[in-house]
């Protein structure tokens, strides 16, 4: 497989992507981890930081960074996967505030690890610019600002009027924006590949091109692969994120949701003068189908949005059928937002899968009796959230509970997704509903008659 061709990030990672050797026969370690993305690597990193003598094996089906860790939009965001108002409703204002503050601290932690371990992931701190394009999106921005004010977090979340917003980023039709400090951006593939080298240097073994067929838990936990069995004295960990839907026993834990990205050529100085965006904040609109934009280090614009519809049985197709129309709509939308892009070329496009739990809440669990753990469900905000989840899980494995264990993702057991075909019917209906709701709002039409039903079915 041409791993460089999967995404712009893997193409520009600056190292050969030759797979590491696969597992050859049976082995025994202290901790066996399924998945060589951020979740698995961060877990190994923090385990070894606390107990350097641990024997750890990471088993990866392809190569480290093959999944969302090597394909995402490059945000290292302080936004928790569910909004603070949902956390507040479930757990109270204090927990909501603590969760937001923990996410800000997590962004800083990622940067500190990159500096400490010499991981050249192009990490930089900037902010998030959540904009309202058109009057219909203004209420969402205002509501978010009011929530942060109520939680005592207004200092890091500033409301910008139309002139202030346009001064930072000249997006056509912009009406207002919320600027959040303390976010970050990274080169995702350089981060995941750098983490892999770091945990190897600290003593972990990584086996690539090795498919796990099942996890065994209990007195003799193990990862059973095509090439041998990895027995674990202390724990087996499921860290496959969206791909956990393929692990027997975990099929209904997460739903793989497709997200797609298009990328421009490097823009000229004249184009950038018209666009602005000098601070390089992450950009996002208020679309129900989600928009995220990143300014790359070499002067391109990355634009991501939801991709292909959900596939029956949580299938994760590598080449998504019918994606050309989605990608063309995305290119047209970006040119509409930024008229200076009218003549710009788009050089890359790719897609991938992110993991979503039934209640949209990330989950970190460890069963000491079964000697098994899991971390997953970042809903597209995994660059930072995976780090937070791994710190929580590593402490649980070692029996060292911390203040982070009081956060909402700790010990959270989300409901299982519905069995097929109900899952396919429900998710497809919601995806179609969000698309229709966006189209109605953008065109100034009333919301579809079933908008309330769509929102209720999709609510965390």
Together in a domain, 262 and 320: yes
CA distance 267 to 341: 8
Q: Which of 352, 375, 397 finishes a domain?
A: 352
Shared domain check, 154 and 233: no
Mean pLDDT value across residues 316-325: 77
**In the predicted structure, residue 428 carries a pLDDT above the cut 90:** yes
For residue 320, pLDDT over 70 is answered with no
Same domain (yes/no): 272, 345: yes
pLDDT digits (tens, 9 = 90+) for 78-132: 999 999 999 999 999 999 999 999 999 999 999 999 999 999 999 999 999 999 9
Residue 162 placed within a domain: yes
**CATH code assigned at 276:** 3.30.9.10
Residue 275: per-residue pLDDT: 98
Domain end, chosen from 352, 371, 387, is at 352
Question: Is residue 429 located within the same domain as residue 379?
Answer: no
d(CA 5, CA 215): 31
Three-state DSSP string of 31-73: EEEECCCHHHHHHHHHHHHHCCCCCEEEECCCCCCCCHHHCCC
Same domain for 40 and 172, yes or no, is no
pLDDT, residue 308, reads: 84
pLDDT band per the 50, 70, 90 thresholds, residue 318: confident
Residue 460: pLDDT band (50, 70, 90) is: confident
- For residues 23 and 157, membership in a common domain is answered with no
- How far apart (Å, rounded) are the C-alpha atoms in residues 230 and 82? 35
Domain assignment present for residue 99? The answer is no
Instruction: Answer yes or no: do 314 and 249 share one domain.
Output: no
Query: Which residue, 310, 336, 352, sits at the end of a domain?
Result: 352
Q: How confident is the model at residue 323 (pLDDT cuts 50, 70, 90)?
A: confident
Let me know if residue 432 belongs to a domain: yes
Residue 289 has pLDDT above 90, yes or no: no
Q: What is the value of pTM for the model shown?
A: 0.96
Q: Which of 4-18, 213-227, 318-332, 442-456 has the lowest mean pLDDT?
A: 318-332
The answer to whether position 427 is within a domain reads: yes
Q: What is the CATH number for 243?
A: 3.50.50.60
Average pLDDT, rounded, for the chain: 96
Higher pLDDT, 325 or 264: 264
Q: How confident is the model at residue 321 (pLDDT cuts 50, 70, 90)?
A: low
**Does 94 fall in a domain?**
no
My answer on whether 151 and 177 are in the same domain is yes
CB 77, CB 183: distance < 8 Å: yes
Q: What integer pLDDT is reported at residue 319 of this predicted model? A: 64
Residues 215 and 343 in one domain: no
**pLDDT over 90 (residue 403):** yes
Residue 430 placed within a domain:
yes
- The alpha carbon dihedral of 65, 66, 72, 78 has a sign of negative
Q: Do 263 and 161 fall into the same domain?
A: yes
Q: Where is pLDDT greater, at 361 or 306? A: 361
Averaged pLDDT, 353-358: 96
Q: What is the chain's Cα-based Rg?
A: 21
Residue numbers of the domain that contains 434: 422-458
Q: Are 65 and 119 in contact (CB under 8 A)?
A: no
Q: Are 69 and 10 in contact (CB under 8 A)?
A: no
| Contacting residues for 214 by C-beta, under 8 A, at least 6 apart | 224, 247, 248, 249
> β-strands 228-238, 27-34: how paired?
parallel
**Residues 207-227: what's their mean pLDDT?**
97
Q: Is residue 222 part of a domain?
A: yes
Question: Residue 1: is its pLDDT beyond 90?
Answer: no
Q: What angle do CA 197, 395, 376 make, to 5 degrees?
A: 70
Question: Does 304 lie in the same domain as 232?
Answer: no
In the predicted model, what is the mean pLDDT of residues 173-182?
A: 96
Considering the domain architecture, whether residues 224 and 249 belong to the same structural domain is answered as yes
pLDDT band at residue 306 using 50, 70 and 90 as cut-offs: confident
Structural domains counted in the chain: 3
Residue 111 lies in a domain: no
Average pLDDT over residues 431-440: 92
pLDDT reported for residue 317:
87
Distance CA 183, CA 195 (A): 20
Q: How many CB atoms lie within 10 A of CB 336?
A: 14
- Omega within 30 of 0 (cis) for the link into 421: yes
């Amino acid at each position: 497989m041409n791993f460089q061709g999967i995404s712009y990030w893997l193409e520009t990672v600056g190292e050969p992507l030759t797979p590491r050797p696969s597992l050859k026969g049976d082995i025994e370690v202290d901790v066996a981890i399924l998945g060589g993305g951020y979740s698995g690597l961060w877990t190994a990193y923090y385990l070894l930081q606390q107990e350097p003598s641990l024997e750890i094996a990471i088993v990866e089906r392809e190569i480290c960074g093959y999944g969302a860790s090597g394909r995402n939009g490059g945000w290292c965001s302080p936004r928790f996967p569910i909004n603070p108002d949902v956390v507040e409703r479930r757990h109270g204002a204090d927990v909501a505030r603590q969760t937001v503050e923990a996410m800000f601290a997590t962004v800083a932690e990622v940067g500190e690890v990159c500096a400490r371990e010499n991981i050249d992931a192009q990490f930089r701190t900037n902010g998030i610019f959540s904009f309202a394009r058109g009057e219909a999106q203004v209420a969402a921005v205002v509501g978010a600002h009011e929530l942060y004010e109520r939680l005592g977090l207004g200092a890091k979340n500033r409301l910008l009027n139309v002139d202030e917003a346009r001064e930072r980023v000249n997006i056509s039709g912009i009406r207002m924006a919320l600027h959040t400090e303390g976010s970050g951006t990274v080169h995702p593939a350089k981060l995941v590949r750098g983490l892999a080298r770091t945990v190897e240097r600290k003593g972990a073994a990584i086996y690539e091109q090795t498919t796990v067929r099942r996890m065994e838990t209990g007195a003799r936990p193990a990862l059973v692969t095509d090439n041998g069995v990895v027995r674990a004295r202390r724990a087996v960990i499921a860290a496959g994120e969206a791909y956990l839907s393929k692990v027997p026993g975990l099929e209904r834990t997460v739903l793989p949701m497709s997200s797609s990205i298009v990328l421009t050529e490097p823009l000229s100085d004249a184009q950038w003068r018209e666009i602005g965006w000098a601070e390089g904040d992450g950009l996002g609109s208020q679309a129900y189908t989600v928009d995220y934009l990143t300014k790359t280090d070499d002067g391109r614009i990355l634009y991501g949005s939801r991709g292909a519809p959900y596939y029956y049985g949580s299938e994760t197709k590598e080449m998504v059928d019918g994606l050309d129309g989605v990608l063309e709509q995305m290119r047209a939308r970006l040119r509409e937002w930024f008229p200076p892009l009218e003549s710009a070329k788009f050089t890359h496009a790719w897609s991938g899968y992110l993991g979503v739990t039934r209640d949209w809440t990330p989950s970190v669990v460890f069963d000491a009796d079964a000697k098994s753990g899991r971390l997953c469900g970042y809903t597209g905000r995994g660059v930072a959230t995976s780090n937070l989840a791994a710190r929580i899980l590593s402490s649980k494995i070692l029996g060292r509970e911390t203040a982070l264990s009081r956060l909402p993702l700790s010990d959270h057991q989300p409901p299982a997704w519905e069995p097929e075909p109900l899952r396919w019917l429900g998710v497809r209906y919601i995806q179609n509903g969000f698309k229709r709701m966006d189209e109605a709002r953008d065109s100034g039409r009333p919301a579809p008659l079933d908008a309330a039903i769509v929102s209720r079915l999709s609510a965390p």
